[in-house]
Amino acid sequence: MQAIQSFLEMCKIDDAHSLDQPTLPYPTNLEELFPTSMVNDAQEAIAKWEGYAPTSLHDLSPLSDAIGVDKLLYKDESSRFGLGSFKALGGAYAVEKLMAGRDASQVTVATATDGNHGRSVAWGAQQAGCKCVIYIHAEVSQGRADAMAAYGAKIIRVDGDYDLSVRQCAEDSAKYGYEIISDTTWEGYMDVPRYVMAGYTMMVREIKAQAEPPTHVILQAGVGGLAAAITAALWQDLGAHMPKVIIVEAGFAPCLIASARSGKAETVHITEETIMAGLSCGEASPLAWEILKQRASHFVTIADTAVPTGMRLLASGEAGPKIEAGECGLPGVIALAGIMKDDALRKTTGLGANSRVLVFGCEGATDREIYNKIISGEIV
């Protein structure tokens, strides 16, 4: 119990913004942008993949008791297709869709990534038989680069941040005829990211079979693709019974809270990289923002401080079953604990003793060397 209390003492919200959202059915404008039929097609296709199995939904009752909510449910993506993250569902599915009816051997797919999305695209390309080029930024670890290369991808490291790697990927793809498999959208580029996001919704299908609907869902966000996909799929299923949606970002990359304040998809300049590498994205996806602006009730940011301690806590088994949580697996738990310590936020979010909260452990040890250093205490 002391380990839990020590972790909770570190959890706090650095910034917060709320939107007054009515409870409505899934709106027509979003059905056109992110159709229910696309979601259903993705879920049916992925269910047929070799090796498919639902990932675990853990009840972290020691943590929920200490935090003060009824349930804390943790969707554990550390085992997904052996790739170690939910991203396995998106990039690979988009490659499959793009290769349908084509001679894959004549196609090269490309993407920019912090690691997990690129691993999915590389794996999907290997399955489909096409070539793959992955752009990574300066701070992506060598371990993550090596993991993508192991699936046959060519790795190009860009001397800059994630958003610069996205631009380099787009420029080279236009020059060399690569097919971009991106999880973010821009003007004239919408279909492939929708396939990526549709793949992510497989988690919602699984959760429906694993537990009763939550009252709150806390979603971590980089460009917003995961958060928007889960929000849309829950909304499509539950309509007016939709849980309250809370978005959590790294304080070093707050593009969505900036978007919530301005009312449009924003870009922020990243001056320091967060330990939560997959959240280090400065440019919000316009499609993701279009969904989130109509349904997310709160946007919050957290510091990196509690992440290593939280990873060690989950690995120890003191918070529930032993969980191998990567750096991006903790934001939902940290945000929940921080909100519950903030009287104003606790009131406006409606979180309390009767709340059933769903969070996403979106990755496991996707870089084994970094993970081991954190768990051993070498990285604090």
Residues near 241 by beta carbon (within 8 Å), at least 6 away in sequence = 213
What residues act catalytically? Answer: 87, 114
- Give the CA-trace dihedral at 327, 330, 335, 340, to 10 degrees: -140
Q: Is the dihedral of CA 199, 209, 233, 261 positive or negative?
A: negative
Give the three-class secondary structure for 68.
Answer: coil
**Cα–Cα distance for residue pair 184/197, rounded to 1 Å:** 9
DSSP 81: G
Tokens of 314: 């989950």
Question: CA 139 to CA 73: how far, in whole Å?
Answer: 32
Quick one: which of 250, 263, 234, 237 has its CA closest to 331? 250
For 312, residues 6+ apart whose C-beta sits below 8 A from its C-beta are 3, 374, 375, 377
Tokens of 271: 């001056």
Q: Would you state the structure tokens that stand for residue 69, as one six-digit string?
A: 């909510």
Of 137, 46, 120, 59, give the one whose Cα is nearest residue 85: 120
Take residue 336 and report the two structure tokens written for it. Answer: 């929940």
Number of other residues whose CB lies within 10 A of the CB of residue 337:
26
Taking alpha carbons only, the member of 297, 313, 363, 249 closest to residue 66 is: 313
